[in-house]
Amino acid sequence: MSRIIVTVPDSYIENLDQEAKEEHKSRSELIREAIRHHIEEKRVWEERKKRRERAFREMDRIRATTKGSDFDSTDFIRRWRHRLDKAQ
Protein backbone atom coordinates (compact mmCIF):
# COMPACT_ATOMS: atom_id res chain seq x y z
CA MET A 1 0.00 0.00 0.00
CA SER A 2 1.31 3.46 -0.86
CA ARG A 3 1.39 6.52 1.34
CA ILE A 4 0.53 10.03 0.20
CA ILE A 5 0.69 13.43 1.79
CA VAL A 6 -2.36 15.63 1.37
CA THR A 7 -2.94 19.15 2.64
CA VAL A 8 -6.49 19.85 3.80
CA PRO A 9 -8.15 22.60 5.80
CA ASP A 10 -8.23 22.11 9.58
CA SER A 11 -12.03 22.05 9.53
CA TYR A 12 -11.92 18.96 7.27
CA ILE A 13 -9.65 17.22 9.74
CA GLU A 14 -11.97 18.08 12.61
CA ASN A 15 -14.93 16.62 10.70
CA LEU A 16 -12.88 13.61 9.63
CA ASP A 17 -11.78 12.90 13.18
CA GLN A 18 -15.37 13.18 14.43
CA GLU A 19 -16.61 10.76 11.75
CA ALA A 20 -13.74 8.38 12.46
CA LYS A 21 -14.58 8.37 16.15
CA GLU A 22 -18.30 7.79 15.51
CA GLU A 23 -17.64 4.98 13.03
CA HIS A 24 -14.73 3.46 14.99
CA LYS A 25 -12.45 3.76 11.97
CA SER A 26 -9.14 5.41 11.25
CA ARG A 27 -8.71 8.58 9.23
CA SER A 28 -7.01 6.49 6.57
CA GLU A 29 -9.93 4.10 6.23
CA LEU A 30 -12.43 6.94 5.88
CA ILE A 31 -10.26 8.59 3.23
CA ARG A 32 -9.94 5.26 1.35
CA GLU A 33 -13.74 4.89 1.49
CA ALA A 34 -14.17 8.41 0.13
CA ILE A 35 -11.81 7.67 -2.75
CA ARG A 36 -13.57 4.37 -3.55
CA HIS A 37 -16.93 6.13 -3.44
CA HIS A 38 -15.71 8.90 -5.76
CA ILE A 39 -14.31 6.44 -8.29
CA GLU A 40 -17.51 4.34 -8.26
CA GLU A 41 -19.74 7.41 -8.61
CA LYS A 42 -17.70 8.58 -11.58
CA ARG A 43 -18.03 5.14 -13.24
CA VAL A 44 -21.79 5.12 -12.67
CA TRP A 45 -22.10 8.68 -14.01
CA GLU A 46 -20.16 7.77 -17.17
CA GLU A 47 -22.35 4.71 -17.76
CA ARG A 48 -25.52 6.78 -17.36
CA LYS A 49 -24.11 9.36 -19.76
CA LYS A 50 -23.51 6.64 -22.37
CA ARG A 51 -27.03 5.30 -21.89
CA ARG A 52 -28.53 8.78 -22.34
CA GLU A 53 -26.50 9.33 -25.50
CA ARG A 54 -27.72 5.98 -26.90
CA ALA A 55 -31.30 6.93 -26.04
CA PHE A 56 -31.00 10.31 -27.76
CA ARG A 57 -29.51 8.71 -30.88
CA GLU A 58 -32.33 6.18 -30.94
CA MET A 59 -34.95 8.90 -30.53
CA ASP A 60 -33.38 10.90 -33.35
CA ARG A 61 -33.41 7.80 -35.57
CA ILE A 62 -37.06 7.08 -34.79
CA ARG A 63 -38.04 10.72 -35.21
CA ALA A 64 -36.54 10.69 -38.70
CA THR A 65 -38.44 7.54 -39.66
CA THR A 66 -41.80 8.54 -38.15
CA LYS A 67 -42.11 12.08 -39.43
CA GLY A 68 -45.77 12.79 -40.14
CA SER A 69 -47.02 9.66 -38.34
CA ASP A 70 -48.91 9.22 -35.09
CA PHE A 71 -45.71 8.23 -33.24
CA ASP A 72 -46.11 8.69 -29.46
CA SER A 73 -42.77 9.86 -28.02
CA THR A 74 -44.00 9.57 -24.43
CA ASP A 75 -44.88 5.92 -24.93
CA PHE A 76 -41.51 5.34 -26.57
CA ILE A 77 -39.64 6.86 -23.61
CA ARG A 78 -41.62 4.73 -21.16
CA ARG A 79 -40.76 1.57 -23.10
CA TRP A 80 -37.10 2.62 -23.36
CA ARG A 81 -36.89 3.21 -19.60
CA HIS A 82 -38.54 -0.14 -18.96
CA ARG A 83 -35.90 -1.88 -21.11
CA LEU A 84 -33.09 -0.05 -19.30
CA ASP A 85 -34.52 -1.05 -15.91
CA LYS A 86 -34.66 -4.69 -16.97
CA ALA A 87 -31.03 -4.53 -18.18
CA GLN A 88 -29.73 -3.46 -14.76
| CB atoms inside a 10 Å sphere around CB 20 | 16
Pair 16, 30: CB distance under 8 Å:
yes
Distances (CA, A) of 74 to 1, 32, 59, 81, 83: 51, 43, 11, 11, 14
Task: Please state the pTM of the whole predicted model.
Answer: 0.61
Amino acid residing at 11: S
Pair 18, 30: CB distance under 8 Å:
no
| Mean pLDDT per 10-residue interval, the chain, length 88 residues | 92 96 96 97 95 89 78 83 82
